[in-house]
Amino acid sequence: MSRRSSLDSFSRWAILCSLCAIAAALPALAQQKADVVLRDGKILTVDSNFSTAEAVAISGNRITAVGSDADVMKTAGPNTKVIDLKGRTVVPGLIDTHRHIYERENYDGKLTPDQQKNYPVDWRGVTSTQDVLNQIKGIMDKYKFKPGEWIYFTNKLSFMGGAQGGGNQSKILFDDLTRWELDKVTPNNPIAMSEGIPDQNGRVAKSAANGST
């Protein structure tokens, strides 16, 4: 047998084996039906055209089909859970943009300040500007920030309900905690600090070294 004939025979044999493998797999593929089908609804796909559909099929943790009821129902099998939405709307997962996701309690306390890049300053017991500066210096010494790196401090104090944050602490925060005081403990880093509650969205900012507040 010539070399060419041997190669041709091998090629035919390889193709035949491939076809047999595909044929054997077809029944299994045909049996792979959706786990869940949501039909008769308004499916907001949020694609580039913000198009809508009637139905969606889900297999495992993946969306496997979106389209008309007739087309998507073709993916349903005897064990598929079919839910009639009766005109209800289905949207992708959304995030509440007002959630304070930087707060540790929203992560069950599992993230460290360094993981959040959010360093709390505890005002309980603060009676002087130096008390605050000592805390900030402790944070600076612990985390060894690179010069020029922005640092965000959260002032844990409240001026509501007559609780923590009396007149003396408000004077420390708003009058005495100047850029020159902050420069003593953050000379090479720009920083931002929250102003406490109710001004949690307010910020005090200082650029590195000679910046202004």
Q: Are residues 117 and 83 in the same domain?
A: no
Six-digit token pair at 13? 């044999």
Q: Which of 93, 124, 145 is the last residue of a domain?
A: 93
Domain with 85 in it: 33-93
Is 26 among the domain residues? no
What pLDDT does 206 receive? 75
CA atoms of 56 and 59, how far apart (whole Å): 10
- 99-135 residues labelled b (16+ CB within 10 A) or e (exposed): eeeeebeeeeeeeebeebebbbbebeebeebeebbeb
Query: What CATH number corresponds to the domain at position 47?
Result: 2.30.40.10
CA atoms of 71 and 75, how far apart (whole Å): 8
Q: Which residues contact 158 (CB under 8 A, 6 or more apart)?
A: 164, 165, 196, 197, 198
Q: Are residues 127 and 186 in the same domain?
A: yes
- pTM score over 0.75: no
Q: Are residues 110 and 188 in the same domain?
A: yes
Residues 39 and 84 sit within 8 Å (Cβ to Cβ): yes
Q: Are residues 40 and 89 in the same domain?
A: yes
Is 48 among the domain residues? yes
Is 114 among the domain residues? yes
CA atoms of 13 and 155, how far apart (whole Å): 75
CA atoms of 207 and 190, how far apart (whole Å): 4
What pLDDT does 160 receive? 58
CA atoms of 132 and 44, how far apart (whole Å): 50
Is 87 among the domain residues? yes
Q: Are residues 62 and 119 in the same domain?
A: no
Q: Which residues contact 115 (CB under 8 A, 6 or more apart)?
A: none
Is 144 among the domain residues? yes
Q: Are residues 111 and 173 in the same domain?
A: yes
What total number of domains does the chain contain? 2
Is 7 among the domain residues? no
What pLDDT does 109 receive? 60
Is 46 among the domain residues? yes
Q: Are residues 181 and 136 in the same domain?
A: yes
> pLDDT truncated to tens, each residue of the chain (213 aa)?
554 454 455 455 555 444 455 445 444 444 578 999 999 999 999 888 889 999 999 999 899 999 999 999 999 999 999 999 999 999 988 777 766 555 545 555 667 778 778 899 999 889 999 999 999 999 999 999 999 999 999 888 876 555 455 568 888 988 898 888 999 999 999 998 888 765 455 667 777 754 444
State the DSSP code for 125: T
Q: Are residues 88 and 111 in the same domain?
A: no
Q: Which of 43, 64, 93 is the last residue of a domain?
A: 93
